[in-house]
């Protein structure tokens, strides 16, 4: 039996739903850890009495940690398995995000944000690879976009905390991450990746983990053995994969640069564009964060209808067009309309990217592929806040340039992308 037939025929729907729900908890935690910065950076700057450039370093060190974490833990997950690495990265994410709420020396704060980023950067690609390897081929795209949709849930939850309790005590926005340690208990009842165990020929562990899926009988799996290099990440540069690797890296860089360029300084950007205070700006930010959810739903619907290439290319194109219009918003109505549509298209692109990337690479180095792509997203995350802060006096030019970057991604995907809809993944 092919492994994907197992998930389609023998794994009950309620178990598949449970796996999606559990991985979504982890994903929402990572999302909240990233988005909390957008809501608290001005207050942190005030507490520490630091400049705009120094404040940008807080975000940049977080993304630097995410860059290192994505590459390191993605590679480790392809060597040692998915579950253990999820536990390690979730623990790091929870502890060091919570520590951010404690007043300390500025240099120590940067280290804490780096370590929080290390956890978040590792958590996301490993969780993505894990769910991809459990999803039937006809539902895989939808499941992975729904997983990414939990990014919006995490963002909305931390946004609610920020505009309620956190309005007067912003440190609580970080202390709540200690509750995420409880999610570790959810790992107990779920299996290790069946694909990973099969490829590693771990027959004893395979049998035990199949029991967690409600499967008692012995099953012989059929799969194509991929000839791989000993260091998983090096396989990305093999002749058959280098083209899709470069395309994947660019689309992750572009969408991440757009996302963090838009959201890292969004409260201050909005306050400048429509001449309002930061408190009112946070309400606008919360509205745009809430618009992430319909963006993911849009991607989840069209990814199995129109396919990966068309949905992703049009999502990039839509984000680019709305970025040009958002940059020229001059009043509340146009800012909310253009900003909301820009967010919807951007989140559709993010969702499809997370579904598309693991389908382009086999199990032997899938987490490494996710991690390396995520690293380029973190490079963008490091640069984007600094980019906006430097060009803050010319926001129209800065945001329009981001739109042009997205336009290149849309064309590249449409011309060179490989359609993976309905295909089995190795």
Tell me the per-residue pLDDT of 100-157, one tens digit each, with 9 for 90 and over: 999 999 999 999 999 999 999 999 999 999 998 888 888 888 899 999 889 888 988 9
User: What is the rounded distance in angstroms from the CA atom of residue 136 to the CA atom of residue 257?
Assistant: 32
b/e string for 5-16 if b means 16 or more Cβ within 10 A? ebbeeebeeebb
Q: In which band, very low, low, confident or very high, does the pLDDT at 57 lie, cut at 50, 70 and 90?
A: confident
CA-based angle 154:156:158, to the nearest 5?
A: 70
Q: Residue 279 above 60 pLDDT?
A: no
Please identify, in words, the CATH class of the domain defined by 3-416: mainly alpha
Tell me the per-residue pLDDT of 158-173, one tens digit each, with 9 for 90 and over: 988 988 888 888 899 9
**Within 13 A of 10's CA, how many CA atoms are on the CB side?**
17
Q: How many other β-carbons are positioned within 10 Å of the β-carbon of residue 297?
A: 18
| Mean pLDDT of all residues in 177-185 | 95
Residue 2, strand partner residues = 222
Q: Residue 224: what pLDDT?
A: 54
Dihedral (CA of 149, 27, 281, 342) sign: negative
Q: How many other β-carbons are positioned within 10 Å of the β-carbon of residue 87?
A: 15
Q: Residue 390 above 90 pLDDT?
A: no
Q: Residue 220 above 90 pLDDT?
A: no
Instruction: Tell me the CA distances in angstroms from 35 to 155, 207, 241, 357, one per residue in order.
Output: 6, 40, 33, 23
| Confidence (pTM) | 0.81
User: What is the rounded distance in angstroms from the CA atom of residue 165 to the CA atom of residue 187?
Assistant: 30
User: What is the rounded distance in angstroms from the CA atom of residue 177 to the CA atom of residue 22?
Assistant: 17
Q: Residue 413: what pLDDT?
A: 95
Q: Where is average pLDDT lowest: 170-174, 222-226, 363-367, 385-389? A: 222-226
Q: In which band, very low, low, confident or very high, does the pLDDT at 271 lie, cut at 50, 70 and 90?
A: low
Q: What percentage of residues in the chain have a pLDDT greater than 70?
A: 90
| Mean pLDDT of all residues in 192-203 | 84
**Within 13 A of 35's CA, how many CA atoms are on the CB side?**
27
Single out the residue of 406, 292, 310 nearest to residue 356, CA to CA: 310
Contact 155, 292 (CB under 8 A): yes
Q: Residue 334: what pLDDT?
A: 85
User: What is the rounded distance in angstroms from the CA atom of residue 36 to the CA atom of residue 151?
Assistant: 12
| Mean pLDDT of all residues in 71-97 | 93
User: What is the rounded distance in angstroms from the CA atom of residue 403 to the CA atom of residue 411?
Assistant: 13
Residue whose token pair is 């992430």: 292
Q: In which band, very low, low, confident or very high, does the pLDDT at 15 lie, cut at 50, 70 and 90?
A: confident
Instruction: Tell me the CA distances in angstroms from 302 to 296, 298, 308, one per residue in order.
Output: 10, 6, 8
Single out the residue of 344, 282, 340 nearest to residue 158, CA to CA: 282
Find all residues with CB under 8 Å of 182, minimum gap 6, and list them: none
Sketch the domain layout of the chain as residue ranges.
3-416
SS3 per residue for the chain: CEHHHHHHHCCCHHHHHHHHHHHHHHHHHHHHHHHHHHHHHHHHHHHHCCCHHHHHHHHHHHHHHHHHHHHHHHHHHHHHCHHHHHHHHHHHHHHHHHHCCCCCCHHHHHHHHHHHHHHHHHHHHHHHHHHHCCCCCCCHHHHHHHHHHHHHHHHHHHHHHHHCHHHCCCCHHHHHHHHHHHHHHHHCCCCCCHHHHHHCCCHHHHHHHHHCCCCCCCCCCECCCCCCCCCHHHHHHCCCCHHHHHHHHHHHHHHHHHHHHHHCCHHHHHHHHCCCCHHHHHHHHHHHHHCHHHHHHHHHHHHCCCCHHHHHHHHHHHHHHHHHHHCCCCCHHHHHHHHHHHHHHHHHHHHHHHHHHHHCCCHHHHHHHHHHHHHHHHHHHHHHHHHHHHCHHHHHHHHHHHHHHHHHHHHHHHHHCCCCCCCCCC
Q: Where is average pLDDT lowest: 301-310, 351-360, 416-425? A: 416-425
Q: In which band, very low, low, confident or very high, does the pLDDT at 272 lie, cut at 50, 70 and 90?
A: low
């Amino acid at each position: 039996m092919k492994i994907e037939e197992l998930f389609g025929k023998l794994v009950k729907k309620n178990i598949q739903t449970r796996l999606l729900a559990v991985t979504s908890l982890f994903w929402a935690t990572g999302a909240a850890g990233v988005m909390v910065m957008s809501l608290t950076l001005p207050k942190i700057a005030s507490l520490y009495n630091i400049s705009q450039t120094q404040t940008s370093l807080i975000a940049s060190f977080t993304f630097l940690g995410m860059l290192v974490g994505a590459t390191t833990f993605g590679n480790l997950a392809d060597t040692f398995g998915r579950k253990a690495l999820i536990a390690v990265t979730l623990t790091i994410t929870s502890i060091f995000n919570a520590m951010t709420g404690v007043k300390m020396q500025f240099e120590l704060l940067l280290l804490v944000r780096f370590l929080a980023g290390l956890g978040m950067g590792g958590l996301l690609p490993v969780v993505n690879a894990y769910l991809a390897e459990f999803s039937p081929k006809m539902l895989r795209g939808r499941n992975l976009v729904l997983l990414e949709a939990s990014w919006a849930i995490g963002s909305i939850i931390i946004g609610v905390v920020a505009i309620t309790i956190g309005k007067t005590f912003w440190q609580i926005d970080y202390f709540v991450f200690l509750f995420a340690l409880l999610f570790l208990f959810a790992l107990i009842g779920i299996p290790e990746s069946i694909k990973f165990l099969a490829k590693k020929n771990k027959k004893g562990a395979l049998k035990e983990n199949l029991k967690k899926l409600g499967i008692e009988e012995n099953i012989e799996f059929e799969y194509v053995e991929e000839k791989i290099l000993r260091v998983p990440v090096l396989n990305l540069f093999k002749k058959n994969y280098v083209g899709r690797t470069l395309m994947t890296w660019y689309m992750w860089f572009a969408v991440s640069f757009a996302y963090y360029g838009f959201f890292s300084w969004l409260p201050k950007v909005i306050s400048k564009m429509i001449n309002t205070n930061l408190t009112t700006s946070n309400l606008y930010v919360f509205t745009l964060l809430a618009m992430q959810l319909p963006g993911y739903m849009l991607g989840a619907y069209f990814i199995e209808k129109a396919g990966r290439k068309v949905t992703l290319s049009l999502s990039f194109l839509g984000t680019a067009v709305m970025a040009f219009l958002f940059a020229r918003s001059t009043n509340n109505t146009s800012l909310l309309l253009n900003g909301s549509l820009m967010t919807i298209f951007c989140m559709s692109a993010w969702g499809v990217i997370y579904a598309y990337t693991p389908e382009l690479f086999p199990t032997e180095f899938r987490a490494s592929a996710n991690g390396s792509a995520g690293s380029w997203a973190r490079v963008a995350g490091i640069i984007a806040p600094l980019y906006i802060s430097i060009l803050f006096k010319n926001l129209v030019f800065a945001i329009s340039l981001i739109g042009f970057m997205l336009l290149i991604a849309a064309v590249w995907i449409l011309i060179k992308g490989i359609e993976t809809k309905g295909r089995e993944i190795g």
